[in-house]
Structure 1
């Protein structure tokens, strides 16, 4: 996607070259010509070292300007910018001056990529190919894979907003490919149901796989539901074991079995109660509030313990 050019600023040689004839732009142009004449008369070399230009470009990029926007503001080619970024050591003096005249943005224009990364991963978990969601968001494949592997830690707000819209559109329905699901499960990515609007944007938050994550019950729900183990639940189970150093052999296995049974019993009750509330046409948020459970835990319980009543099975009473 082509970056939107930055309009020329009054009081610059570029503004004059674009056709502006305000006095401050005329003056900037005259001063530019005087500098060029001065350097020519004094035998100054046309090319200069690019060290200062390279450092300045880094500041401009860090402020949120794109390479194309910098080239447009400096009235130079994108190729000139790219060459310096790729290690070119000299460039024409006038080109260097124009680049050095470009000022960084002062307002914050980058946002943390954590939420976007989680949205990409969650959509892959339910079968939406990464390349397809990237195209839907209008982002390049390279940029999206940079977000996934962590080499892109921040991104423009409008890019994050595009993926947020794609996520809102696709996260409620399964995607078309099992290959994406396999990739997501192999990498331990979390599905949409493991996140809510608050946790998905919080870099310190963990996915809520079971509705009880961070507890020993959550640990057993992971095992029962065959859900990839999350770090908080694994740590909680290790803490549970550490608090019972006297339990050994049969006693330890019996205590673990009892805890596992309690977790499974909670799942059966959740599934039954959720179906009753759904029959009353309550929303998922209302059901989660009533049952004091995360929607992800409720949905997992309903999948694990399906309705086996005669009516549900289509058996006449």
Structure 2
């Protein structure tokens, strides 16, 4: 025979005589907790427990529907009516004190980690810096959004913010990190389009509606050509301002590449040898199964003796149909550099190229493409067509 405790007897009396029990389903309390912990309130468990006058650990058990150790827990679905009333009686606070368990928007934290990766800091270093261990996978899942997190707790947010303030002005090379790890982090940032710290201000990095300021002219028609010329990932405002309609497989037009290869009587093997890639990569680009980097597009344009715009969609340059790449005058270019009061090395630094590139133009080993020559002309404050006369 079952022995009834006083609580069980009281509950049975209420059920028999009044039609309800001392316990009720926890669904209403959980829904209210989610509201308090979510945007725009972001209240922590500790703050809610203080206002409800219940134990914080009990509140966490109610929220997750289980009690006991992690390996030996018991699930439950009902809570005491007084506990439910205490939880439902907590009113949302617009600006609660942010504490360890408060839920916050993950956008700012994600952007800070992406900026550090763009600077060259490996994910393993970032993971150790925020006490996530040496495994870089949690950072990778969070940064790429694959973790599915719709919030981040305040304690983690402040750890990431402190790490960002510590490292965003530091060169990874100065910390003794290997060049291989730094290069891998930077290539990953370029691949995923992560914005470095220079693209963010303190008042915009946490704003979900803000976008990184890559060029100084983002959101204007002048911004998109700068993205392409400097090989910077194009931001959505610049694409919209330029009326850019992105192709399904990227910006390279495979049909134009194939036509230019036929015009120059160059097959995939020869072009691959000159560009430094496999012939299979060329075929994939021609059929638009893969998208080449801007550097590879520039190299192909140089080897095919055409402008990048002739291989791409949605972008045009200030071009003159009467000027051909082979009309470039290397000796005249050298003279104009001297007339501007610069050396080849100084001009290369100002334009962001290597001095070897400029020497190749001067000696006629290679012809400059329109993007680069127009950038050099802008630095020298001359008309780019003067280099061809």
Aligned partner (choices 65, 73, 76) of residue 55 of structure 2? 73
Q: 1:18 maps to what in 2? A: none
Does residue 226 of structure 1 match 2:242?
no
1:256–1:153 CA distance, 2 compared to 1 (3 A): farther
Aligned partner (choices 111, 116, 124) of residue 118 of structure 1? 111
Distance 2:42 2:6 in 1: 33
Q: 2:318 maps to what in 1? A: 255
Higher RCO structure (Cα 8 Å, ≥6 apart): 1
Contact 1:56–1:100 (Cα < 8 Å) also in 2: no
Distance 1:210 1:301 in 2: 18
Which structure dedicates a bigger proportion of its chain to helix? 1
Aligned partner (choices 166, 172, 178) of residue 169 of structure 1? 166
**Shift, 1:170, TM fit:** 0.9
Does residue 56 of structure 1 match 2:32?
yes
1:164-209 CA-partner distances (Å, limit 9, x unpaired): 2211211123444233323222211111122233332333332222
Distance 1:59 1:129 in 2: 36
Q: 2:248 maps to what in 1? A: none
Distance 1:105 1:139 in 2: 31
Paired residues for 1:5-154 under 5 Å: 38-42=10-14, 48-62=24-38, 63-66=41-44, 73=55, 76=58, 78-83=60-65, 91-94=77-80, 97-102=82-87, 103=90, 106-109=93-96, 111-130=104-123, 132-138=125-131, 145-146=141-142, 148-149=144-145, 151-154=148-151
For the aligned residue pairs, the C-alpha RMSD in angstroms reads 4.6
1:257–1:55 CA distance, 2 compared to 1 (3 A): farther
Does residue 198 of structure 1 match 2:198?
no
3-state SS, counterpart of residue 77 of structure 2? strand
When the two structures are superposed, what TM-score results if normalisation uses the length of structure 1?
0.52
Distance 1:198 1:302 in 2: 30
Gap regions ≥5 residues in structure 2: 68-73, 97-102, 245-309, 322-336, 357-389
Aligned residue pairs total 224
1:238–1:108 CA distance, 2 compared to 1 (3 A): same
Distance 1:199 1:215 in 2: 18
1:236–1:61 CA distance, 2 compared to 1 (3 A): closer
**Shift, 1:53, TM fit:** 3.3
Deviates more, 1:142-151 or 1:172-181: 142-151
Distance 1:187 1:59 in 2: 33
**Shift, 1:56, TM fit:** 3.2
Gap regions ≥5 residues in structure 1: 1-32, 240-248, 259-267, 277-299, 309-317
When the two structures are superposed, what TM-score results if normalisation uses the length of structure 2?
0.44
**Shift, 1:121, TM fit:** 0.9
Distance 2:23 2:191 in 1: 53
